[in-house]
Chains A and B, each alone.
Chain A
Amino acid sequence: MSNRDVAVIGVGYTTFQALTPDVNWKEMMFEAASEAYEDAGLDPRKDVDSFITCAEDFWEGFSIFDEFTPDQLGAVLRPMHTVSGDGLQGLASAYMLIRSGLCDIVAVEAHSKISELLTFEGVVKLSFDPVYEAPLFETAHPYAAAGLEMRSYLEASGTTEEQCAAVAAQHKRNAFSNPIAGFAARIETDDVLDSGYLFDPLKKLEIAPRADGSIVIVLASGDVARRYAKPVYLEGIGWSSDSPWIASRGSDAPYAARAAEQAYRKASIANPQKEIDFAEVDDQFAFKTLQHLEALGLARPGEAGHLAEEGALGRNGHLPVNVSGGSLGCGHLMEASGLAKALEVTLQLRGEAGKRQLSNARVGVAQSWRGVPHGTGAVAVFSRRD
């Protein structure tokens, strides 16, 4: 019986930047893919059994975008499919391909070339219910939906605006130690609080700016991974979608809680607070960091804000969170945001995180959310098993 464990054997990535007019999206993907195959020491034309991209037509400006993905990944005339979801959902597909025995080596790609979408807000508005919700957003910026959710979360959990602002400042400072992050800034909690309300109680500097970039992660079965020096094992993965009705949802990110339950069960994690050393969680809006940490069971309900305030979520705290800078510090990469979290967890577990390397990184969790106005999230648990 062959070993159907799943491990990361290669990563490749571009920098994450606001604008990238010098390359097109295919070249960006080619750059990340070339680096990942080099890192894994394999030839995609011979060694990779299947390829997956994570993309959404409207972000890309294409109809049936998945037809445009094989060539730049080395996947022409090979098994290939696109997941219309976040990068972690793509990793979940790769996990299944390998666990089922259908494939031994799978490459997963996700990217953002969002700077080329000139009507970003219009596309986001198209994802609201067209009959009941969109007519109420004719004037309003679509991110107002995050303002509604932030107030629910603050009131239900007792979290304060200062605590959310502390998160935004921390992530932007963290990004200084990440050479690929595009939005590092030396700011403090007060700078965030003074940045002005856009959708009260949500403030300007609590909103992740958008970035371009591409990430490729190569996964392999346990048998193949054993030949590599630093395999990082994908111990468990889960995903879940909440009701699409904005006004029907709770304030505690239940999609993340359900996804975590599934991932933890696969990874045999009984006590996440004890067993998980660090986390990369979705932070498209600062408060989402705290809400997600609580949903993942890494903090008790209402506790995450206090941890942020005390510095416990910093690089030297007891639960380092988004030491990469997160989406607030790296930029929001659309469907690649979850894969950016998985990338950071992998680099940390390999001991390749440079200036931001954590000293006791053995088990890490990556979590994604598809953004306003969606209710889908995924969770992946990684470990280095040595």
Chain B
Amino acid sequence: MGFTDRFQKTTEPRHRLGAMEADHYIYSAGIAGEKFFTALRDRGIILASHCKACAITYVPSRLFCERCFAELTDSDDREVGPEGEVATFTLVRQDSAGNALPEPEILAVIRFGHETTGFLHKLGEVSPEKVETGMKVEAVLKPQEEREARITDIAYFRPVKK
């Protein structure tokens, strides 16, 4: 058989169903991540790292500056939030299987002041049509006893009540 003998019926081609055995990994949080998540769980705060040379604050905290390559240490720690501003957002209407979600989920990038990086999270306690960029929002944390030192210890961000 050659290219001149291509299949003529879709039921003819044979295949074998396989699986990529790669579903068990440990992703360590690292030095900066440990500090960030511990602070979030125990003190309920959002920890960031400030690079003096670049005048930029990284949220969440990091061990190094991606602009000047400096190592960032404890003395560079900054607490940001809990209030911030919506830099961008999207209304997610489809899940990963391609199914329509009954209610759109709202993903957003939050910014805590001009010279900080954005912070990816969800919005809640707001109807999708009310969301706009520039909107003031605040972090809503899970109750202390439910926190696990994960990014989802922040349940979501909600609009700041005036």
Residues of A within 8 A of B (CB): 21-23, 27, 31, 58, 61, 116, 121-122, 125, 130-133, 135-137, 139-144, 147-152, 155, 196-202, 243, 245-248, 251
Contacts and interface: CB of A to CB of B under 8 A. Distances in A.
Contacts of B10: 21
B69 interface: no
B96 A125 contact: yes
Contacts of B107: 136, 140, 144, 147-148
Contact of B92 (A141, A149, A155, A247): A141
Contacts, number: 116
Given A135-B151, A151-B133, A248-B118, A141 B88 contact: no
B148 to A, nearest CB: 11
Contact of B90 (A132, A139, A202, A243): A202
B105 A140 contact: yes
A200 B93 contact: yes
Interface of B: 3, 6-7, 10, 13, 15, 18, 20, 22, 25, 27, 29, 33, 58-60, 66, 87-98, 101, 104-105, 107-109, 117-122, 128, 133, 150-152
Given A141-B94, A148-B107, A243 B66 contact: yes
A198 B88 contact: no
What does DSSP make chain B's interface, helix, strand, loop or mixed? mixed
Contacts of A133: 120
A377 B128 CA distance: 33
A248 B150 CA distance: 20
Given A121-B98, A149-B88, 19 more contacts: A58-B22, A116-B15, A122-B96, A136-B121, A136-B151, A139-B95, A139-B96, A141-B94, A144-B107, A147-B107, A148-B88, A151-B88, A197-B91, A200-B128, A201-B90, A202-B90, A247-B117, A247-B118, A248-B118
Contact of B120 (A61, A116, A196, A247): A247
Enumerate the 10 nearest inter-chain pairs by beta-carbon distance, A residue then B residue, closest first: A147-B90, A247-B118, A130-B27, A121-B96, A200-B91, A248-B117, A140-B92, A152-B88, A247-B120, A21-B13
Given A132-B120, A197-B91, A248 B58 contact: yes
A24 to B, nearest CB: 9
B5 to A, nearest CB: 10
A39 to B, nearest CB: 17
21 contacts: A21-B15, A121-B98, A131-B29, A131-B33, A132-B151, A135-B152, A136-B120, A136-B122, A139-B95, A139-B96, A139-B101, A144-B107, A147-B107, A148-B88, A148-B90, A151-B88, A152-B88, A198-B94, A199-B90, A247-B87, A248-B117
A21 B133 contact: no
A246 to B, nearest CB: 6
Contacts of B92: 139-141, 144, 147, 199
A338 to B, nearest CB: 25
Contacts of B3: 27, 31
Contacts of B101: 139
A41 B100 CA distance: 52
Contacts of B58: 248
Nearest to A199: B90
A130 B28 CA distance: 9
B60 A61 contact: no
A68 to B, nearest CB: 14
A136 B122 CA distance: 7
A152 B94 contact: no
B117 A144 contact: no
A196 to B, nearest CB: 8
A246 B133 contact: no
A117 B69 CA distance: 38
A140 B96 contact: yes
Contacts of B108: 148
B10 to A, nearest CB: 6
Contacts of A27: 3
